[in-house]
Amino acid sequence: MSEIAYDRLTVEKGPRRINQEDAIRRSFDLVLSAAALILLSVPILILAVLIRIDSPGPAIFKQARLGKNCKPFVFYKFRTMYSDAATRFPHLYDYAALSNEPDFLFKRPEDPRLTRIGRWLRRTGLDELPNLINVVKGDCSLVGPRPDIPEMLPQYTATQRARFAVRPGITSLAHIKGGNKLTFAQTAFLDAEYVANRSWTLDAKILLLTARTIIRGDLH
């Protein structure tokens, strides 16, 4: 894998152009995410009620994630796991040990921590709908490397940390190239490749492919 430095985009495009593109991208993200939240408000409310009925605990899961330049923020998504999953399955939270496995996956298809409705939400990708709140707040972009948890930061090499040079996204190149079927190393490679080749055309392609896979119900 070729080396991809943090400053590669700045060197190739220049800081002024980067700032202009970021401002335009932020406006685009804000308009689309706010409109989506309004249009999807009723389905979001219905899903929240179903989650509460299915198992005890809040409908919204909040977790610390790493944003641009590794700045932490609170990430929102629908809860897909049992509220006491960390107590019941502590071995699945040993991220340092798990990431050393050659076939380590971010999300396991037969994860015992998942609730009944949680499995369906994961399969359809609807568990990510509250991510739109993070886009409105400016924590995330519509497209970018998926935000990771702080506990995983030590597992990234210097090359792989190129992913933190941009805002994380609610969908990504890795998301449409295999999603949960990819290993940690494969995902990190695709994230770095996205940063190196970031463009409006690539973002549009990722958004369209994400929409298609959600409609088909095979995102995960």
Could you tell me whether strands 141-143 and 169-171 are parallel, antiparallel, or unpaired per DSSP bridges?
Answer: parallel
Mean pLDDT across the chain, nearest whole number? 85
pLDDT at 122 > cutoff 70: yes
* Number of domains comprising the chain: 1
Mean of pLDDT values over 12-24: 68
Residues with Cβ within 8 Å of residue 128, at least 6 apart in sequence: 77, 78, 170, 171
Does residue 1 belong to any structural domain of this protein? no
**Burial readout 187-201 (b: 16 or more C-beta within 10 A, e: otherwise):** bbbbbbbbbeebeee
CA distance 208 to 136: 20
Does residue 41 belong to any structural domain of this protein? yes
Does residue 209 belong to any structural domain of this protein? yes
Does residue 3 belong to any structural domain of this protein? no
Q: How confident is the model at residue 56 (pLDDT cuts 50, 70, 90)?
A: very high
Can you say how many angstroms the Cα of residue 24 is from the centroid of all Cα atoms in its chain? 21
Q: How far are the Cα atoms of 112, 147, 212 from residue 109, in angstroms, in the given order?
A: 9, 20, 21
Range of the domain at 209: 8-215
pLDDT at 113 > cutoff 80: yes
Does residue 220 belong to any structural domain of this protein? no
Does residue 2 belong to any structural domain of this protein? no
Q: Which residue in the block uniquely carries the two structure tokens 């940690």?
A: 184
Does residue 117 belong to any structural domain of this protein? yes
Q: Letter for the amino acid at 1? A: M
pLDDT at 201 > cutoff 70: yes
Range scoring the smallest mean pLDDT among 37-46, 96-105, 151-160: 96-105
Could you tell me the pTM of the whole model? 0.81
Q: How confident is the model at residue 9 (pLDDT cuts 50, 70, 90)?
A: very low
